[in-house]
Amino acid sequence: MSTPALELEWRSERGRVRRRNEDAVTCLTDIGFVVVADGIGGASAGDLASQTAVRIIGQRFARHPPPVSESRQAELFAEAAINEANAAIGELAQHRQDSSGMGTTVVMGYFGSAWLMYAHVGDSRLYRMRAGALSQLTSDHSFIQEVVDQGFFPSFDAAREYGINEHVLTRAVGSAPYVVATTAVTDIAVGDIYLFCTDGLSGMVSDQELVDLLDANEGELGSAADALVDSAMDNGGSDNITLALVRVNTVVQRHGSAPA
C-alpha cells in the first residue's frame, strides 16, 4: 500500500535571547516522518540531548519504517524508539560531568496510508489546521497542564496569575530511567496542515496568530514556516524556535478508517 503525497518544510532558529540552539529537528520526506525536540538542562548539554533523540528516533524509522497500513504497529515502534533514545541520553549523562540532568522533549509523527501516528513527551506540541480550524492534538506533560486538568484552576491564565510556572515538565526523554510517551492515531484529509513545534513557537505565538499566518500563506508552505518564525521573533524570540509543517496533498483510499 502506498503512502500519501506530503509537502514538508522545517525551520530551527536560535531566537533573540538564547546563546545557543538546544532544539533539533529531523524530517524524512520519503517516508513521511517528522521529529522535533527541545533540549533541557541548559549548561547540562540540552543540545546534546535533543540531537541524540532526533538522531536515534529518526534512524530507527529510516531503517525499518512501519507498514503504512498498520497504525498500531507504528505506535509500538514509536514507543520503542523513544525508549531507545531515553536510554542513550541517560547513558551519556552518566559519562559526562557537565551533562547530569539533561533531557529533551520530543514530538514526532509518522504518516500512514490514511492516518497519522503521533507521539510526544514534554511540552513540544502538534497542531492540525483543517478547513480553517486549528486543533491542538497533544496535551503538554507539564505541571501547569496537570493542575488545570485536575480542576485546581479553571484556566491556564488563572494558574499563571497564581504563580504556577508553566515551564516545569512532568516528563522528559533522558531525565529518568524510564519514560512513557503518549501516542495516538488520527485520520488525515487532503488539505490538512500539521504543525510540530517547540514551545519557543507555541509560547510566543497565539493560536489566533497561528491560524492567521497559516491562512495568509496557505499556498506556500515555505512562506508559512518563515512567517511563523518571524512572528515568534517579533514577539520577543525569548527561546529557541523550531517547527515542521506538513501539508497533505493526497490520501490513499482504503477500507475502514483510523480513529479520530
- Tell me what the mean pLDDT of segment 181-202 comes to: 97
Classify residue 154: in a domain, yes or no. no
Residue 30's contacts (CB-CB under 8 Å, 6 or more residues apart) are: none
Number of domains in the chain: 1
More confident residue, 234 or 250: 234
Can you spell out the DSSP letters for 159-223?
HHHHT--TT-BS--BTSSS----EEEEEE--TT-EEEEE-HHHHTTS-HHHHHHHHHHTTT-HHH
End-to-end CA distance of the chain: 21
Residue 44 has what pLDDT?
64
Dihedrals φ, ψ of 190, to 5°? -60, 130
pLDDT tens for residues 129-171? 999 999 999 999 988 888 887 888 888 788 888 888 778 899 9
- Tell me what the mean pLDDT of segment 70-92 comes to: 95
Please choose, from the candidates 90, 108, 104, 86, the residue with its C-alpha nearest in 3D space to the C-alpha of residue 38: 104
Residue 9 has what pLDDT?
97
Can you spell out the DSSP letters for 13-74?
E--SS-SS--EEEEEETTTTEEEEEEEE-GGGTHHHHHHHHHHHHHHHHHHSPPPTT-HHHH
- Tell me what the mean pLDDT of segment 188-196 comes to: 97
Classify residue 164: in a domain, yes or no. no
Please choose, from the candidates 102, 109, 79, 110, the residue with its C-alpha nearest in 3D space to the C-alpha of residue 169: 102
Classify residue 144: in a domain, yes or no. no
- Tell me what the mean pLDDT of segment 82-94 comes to: 93
Classify residue 159: in a domain, yes or no. no
- Given a cut of 60, whether residue 220 has pLDDT beyond it is yes
Domain harbouring 51, CATH code:
3.60.40.10
Name residue 115's beta-bridge partners: 187
Could you tell me the residue range of the domain that residue 65 belongs to?
Answer: 6-138+172-248
Residue 256 has what pLDDT?
43
* Cβ count within 10 A of residue 214: 21
> For residues 4 and 111, is the Cβ–Cβ distance under 8 A?
yes
pLDDT tens for residues 108-136? 999 999 999 999 999 999 999 999 999 99
Alpha-carbon distance of 40 to 44, in angstroms, equals 8
Classify residue 257: in a domain, yes or no. no
Alpha-carbon distance of 160 to 8, in angstroms, equals 35
In the chain, the percentage of residues whose pLDDT exceeds 70 is 94
For 131-169, list the strands marked E by DSSP.
133-136
